[in-house]
Structure 1
Amino acid sequence: MNAPQFWTIPPSELSPSQLAIKTQALQERLVSICDQFDDVRFATSLAAEDMVITDAITQAKLPIQFFTLATGRLHQETVDLVKTTEDHYQISITKVYPEESDVQSYIDQYGINGFYDGEEAKKACCGARKIKPLNTALQGAKAWLSGQRREQSTTRTELNFAEHDDARGIEKFNPLFDWTEADVWAYIKQENVLIHPLHLKGYPSIGCEPCTRQVKQGEDIRAGRWWWLQSDSKECGLHINR
């Protein structure tokens, strides 16, 4: 039996001039956000898109605060990359942890890996480890950024650059909303951006360790997230605005 072939970093057909246009537009978007709001925060998961945004923010020396959701179930490679990124860009990334009581309540009700039992348990785990910490991280912020792209999944095809986060009462921006996967990797290659080591092992999308697997060639790039659930369940709830 042949070994499965996993996802690999895609080649880019962008010319240098095309990439320069996209890069300039990204910088202009970020500058515009900072011109409008005096407390902007960026939620980075250290994935490829987020590393592009991190690079663009630091190149422009913009006053955007970085934070990451330290769920307690991340790959060690993700944990290590936080420190590497801080050192490389000379920035501080705030680690936002879940409340121990919330995690324990989840374990008491569902078990440590209860999310494998279905959508309800998965949502409860994400609620304790990701959504509630995100709400805490955004308290007092005027706007926040995500690395979402339209091309990533069927649930994001209508994604816009700017949207109002009704759930938190602040503005939200998706500066890479119209970028393709190849655009992202073209920028990374040109700017020599740090990348998550799991991208080199067949992981196009990376979340918590027990909820992420490698993706085979030809599969949707988010097929490795919560793979035991239906395709319309490939979101953790962080980006639900209501």
Structure 2
Amino acid sequence: MSVKEIKEIIGDKKGAEMLQAIVALYPSEVVFSTSFGIEDQIITEWIGKNDIGIEIFTLDTGRLFKETYSLWSRTLERYQLNIKTYTPDTTLLEDFISKKGPNSFYESVENRKECCRIRKIEPLQRAIKGKKIWITGIRSEQSVNRHDMDFVEYDEINGIIKIHPLFDWTFEQVKMYCKEQYIPYNVLHDKGFPSIGCQPCTRAVQEGEDFRAGRWWWEDQSKKECGLHAVKS
């Protein structure tokens, strides 16, 4: 089924109704990736409260904030869902750290991208293997690189269709929805962290800074993607 056909079937459906329509198309071939960011918590709420049969997975890089792990536990308790966990390949990670050290990602963009590849990209490829649809919490305003995306698109690199149910939501709308629905979210979001990744690579955003200024802050703005949502140029 093409991106255009899926868009037509989804139509003007929103939230849980959209997810249910997607599962009806691909009953066992839909996955949702959560990093326990505030957007992901909304989608988890829709899946959990409506008993929607979407497989949920997360990538545990081994360097997440303690607040993220705490929210992970709270999420499991609240929704009683199975969240499949993928971790870095031990051999790849051991080799990388042995050769370049534990903090080499600060030294060059190449090292940082290699760290992301080992801790995120390779586990992701295992997580989505054999699936047709990948649900994400991406929003268009999150970075310059995401303005050219659409809420349903074909990921040429990974060979999968991606759907972003919150694509046109603003950060304020996301926060308001979570508060109105009492959805648990990472306390770091209230401490200046709109985007939360690995602890060594994320800092709070200062007033007036870009949304993703806190991610890989030592790098050029245009390079601030880990590769999970890369597109062919």
Q: Which moved more, 1:51-60 or 1:226-235?
A: 51-60
TM-score w.r.t. the length of structure 2 is 0.90
C-alpha separation between the residues in 2 aligned to 1:47 and 1:216?
19
Question: Any conservation in 1 of the 2:49–2:79 contact (CA below 8 Å)?
Answer: no
Residue in 2 aligned with 1:184? Answer: 174
C-alpha separation between the residues in 2 aligned to 1:86 and 1:40?
20
Question: Any conservation in 1 of the 2:31–2:55 contact (CA below 8 Å)?
Answer: yes
Letter in 1 for 2:24: D
Identical-pair percentage: 44
| 1:184-215 superposed Cα distances (whole Å, 9 cap, x missing partner) | 11211111100102112221110000000011
2:14 aligned with 1:34, yes or no?
no
Give 1:28 shift: 2.7
Question: Any conservation in 1 of the 2:134–2:163 contact (CA below 8 Å)?
Answer: yes
2:69 aligned with 1:57, yes or no?
no
C-alpha separation between the residues in 1 aligned to 2:42 and 2:191?
19
Letter in 1 for 2:103: N
Letter in 2 for 1:90: Q
Question: Any conservation in 1 of the 2:157–2:231 contact (CA below 8 Å)?
Answer: yes
C-alpha separation between the residues in 1 aligned to 2:176 and 2:187?
17
Residue in 1 aligned with 2:120? Answer: 130
Give 1:109 shift: 3.0
Structure 1 runs of 4+ aligned residues shifted over 6 Å read none
Letter in 2 for 1:58: G
| 1:61-114 superposed Cα distances (whole Å, 9 cap, x missing partner) | 210111110001111111222121011111111111001111112113321110
Residue in 2 aligned with 1:80? Answer: 70
Ranges in structure 1 where 5+ consecutive residues have no aligned partner: 1-22
| 1:5-46 superposed Cα distances (whole Å, 9 cap, x missing partner) | xxxxxxxxxxxxxxxxxx962223212211221221111000
Residue in 2 aligned with 1:20? Answer: none
2:148 aligned with 1:158, yes or no?
yes
TM-score w.r.t. the length of structure 1 is 0.87
Question: Any conservation in 1 of the 2:14–2:165 contact (CA below 8 Å)?
Answer: no
Question: Any conservation in 2 of the 1:82–1:93 contact (CA below 8 Å)?
Answer: no
| 1:218-237 superposed Cα distances (whole Å, 9 cap, x missing partner) | 21121000000000111100
Question: Paired residues, what number?
Answer: 220
C-alpha separation between the residues in 1 aligned to 2:152 and 2:140?
13
RMSD after superposition:
1.5
Residue in 1 aligned with 2:191? Answer: 201
| 1:93-144 superposed Cα distances (whole Å, 9 cap, x missing partner) | 1111001111112113321110001210110000000000000111222211
Question: Any conservation in 2 of the 1:149–1:159 contact (CA below 8 Å)?
Answer: no
Give 1:241 shift: 4.0
